[in-house]
Amino acid sequence: MTQLHCPRCSQVLGRQGDQIHCDGCTAFWPIQRGVPRFFPRAPYWGEVSQENMGCVLTDVESAGWRAALQRNLSPEEWARIGYLLDSESRPWESLVSLPDRPRVLDVGCGLGAISEGFARRGAELVCADAVPERAAFTAARCRQEGAADVTPIQCDAGALPVADGEFDVIVLNHVLEWVGCSSSEPDPRASQRRILSHIYRKLRPGGSLCVAIENRFTPVTRFRDPHAGMRFTTWMPQGLANRWSLWRRGTPYRTPLYSYGALGRLLRKTGFESTHFYAPLPSSRNMRYLAALDDKRFTRHALGQMFDIKHPTLSLAVRSVNTKLPLHWLLARCAPEFMVVAQRELDAR
Ligand SMILES: C[S@@+](CC[C@H](N)C(=O)[O-])C[C@H]1O[C@@H](n2cnc3c(N)ncnc32)[C@H](O)[C@@H]1O
Ligand SMILES: [Zn+2]
């Protein structure tokens, strides 16, 4: 089990019965269903109702994770989580170089679709989520899929109870856009910057952050904000989006996204030395190709393959147009979402 550290004073934490405690600052936290709970205020959230998730957790050890879901979910819930059952659809583990028994932290692990890929590679995993049921389920799924060791924790992404410099890989897959919702900071982008800096420190020098987030300026969603559900808010400046959201829905705008350029700048400003951008096409839920946005040839190849044009004359015409058009530039601006591997420099302190 990964050694946990106090999120307040960084001391190593101890376990006593059903509690985790800190000798440094005398804080303690409960352990429920095997999950230390560092973030008690967090409300339940998920594709599956809390009641059904409780039944899944009761069955998960005896029935196996997939059967436990099948048995306890409504047909609508089962359809909703379909894309989360197949870890190969988001192959982060093939985009980073992994040592033997890599140490991986999945922040906002959800139902474990990403953690599972690392579990299959024999990783030592920490599965963290604001919702304890999700961390507990992911831990069970990963143990069953071959993880060397799994530690589930319920915590906030900005107060991770783990040591600095500990992880080879940290995953933040469709979580960065949500962190403003659980923070009291007035500016959600400030929460995102704070959490990225916090996560950066948890990586070992040379370690990789895997971050996926929708593209702010994609036209693919027909300008509908995938989180707020309103049109054009992703294109608005934060202040205007906030006022618009307050007027239309009565709630502030807390889920800002990034463009290709702004996300790269944000990661470099956080301290990451290099970034490699990818775009799952046509979307991450239904990925057929992963276009490397930093490699012009690959982008063209992926697009050519994806549209799979069989007619020889048409195919030749498309290929010759391909070489003239700035497809690579266009894709980086219009891709539905980005998957970015950002590396902490090797001699970072
Ligand atoms: C869209 S889901 C993504 C789940 C998973 N990473 C995946 O790609 O399948 C976002 C997850 O982040 C978690 N989350 C949101 N805000 C969080 C926070 N501040 N700290 C920790 N987890 C958070 C949610 O509970 C949820 O499980
Ligand atoms: Zn402490």
Pair 161, 153: CB distance under 8 Å? yes
Residue from 129, 154, 338 to probe ligand 1 pocket by mutation (most atoms less than 8 Å from CB):
129
> Is there an atom of ligand 1 within 6 Å of 300 CB?
no
Cα 22 to ligand 2 centroid, rounded to whole Å? 5
Whole-prediction pTM:
0.93
DSSP-derived secondary structure for 175-241: -TTTGGGG---S-HHHHHHHHHHHHHHHEEEEEEEEEEEEBTT-STTTTB-TTT--BSGGGS-HHHH
CATH 3.90.420.10 for domain 34-214, yes or no, is no
Beta-carbon count within 10 A of 162 CB? 21
- In this structure, which residues have their CB less than 5 angstroms from ion ligand 2? 6, 8-9, 11, 22, 24-25
In the chain, where the domains are located: 34-214, 280-337
> Is there an atom of ligand 1 within 6 Å of 110 CB?
yes
Interaxial angle between packed helices 296-307 and 312-324, expressed in degrees from 0 to 180 and rounded to the nearest 10? 150
> Is there an atom of ligand 1 within 6 Å of 114 CB?
yes
Each of the 349 residues of the chain gets a pLDDT tens digit; together they read 789 999 999 999 999 989 999 999 999 999 998 999 999 778 999 999 999 999 999 999 999 999 999 999 999 999 999 989 987 778 899 999 999 999 999 999 999 999 999 999 999 999 999 999 999 999 999 999 999 999 999 999 999 999 999 999 999 999 999 999 999 899 999 999 999 999 999 999 999 999 999 999 988 887 888 888 888 899 999 999 999 999 999 999 999 999 999 999 999 999 999 999 999 988 878 888 888 888 776 666 666 666 666 666 766 666 666 556 677 788 888 999 999 999 999 886 6
User: Atom of ligand 1 at shortest distance to CA of 157?
Assistant: 20
Classify residue 5 by its DSSP letter.
B
Cα 328 to ligand 1 centroid, rounded to whole Å? 30
> Is there an atom of ligand 1 within 6 Å of 103 CB?
no
Residue from 178, 184, 213 to probe ligand 1 pocket by mutation (most atoms less than 8 Å from CB):
178
> Is there an atom of ligand 1 within 6 Å of 174 CB?
yes
Cα 19 to ligand 2 centroid, rounded to whole Å? 14
CA angle (153 as vertex; 127, 1 as ends), nearest 5? 75
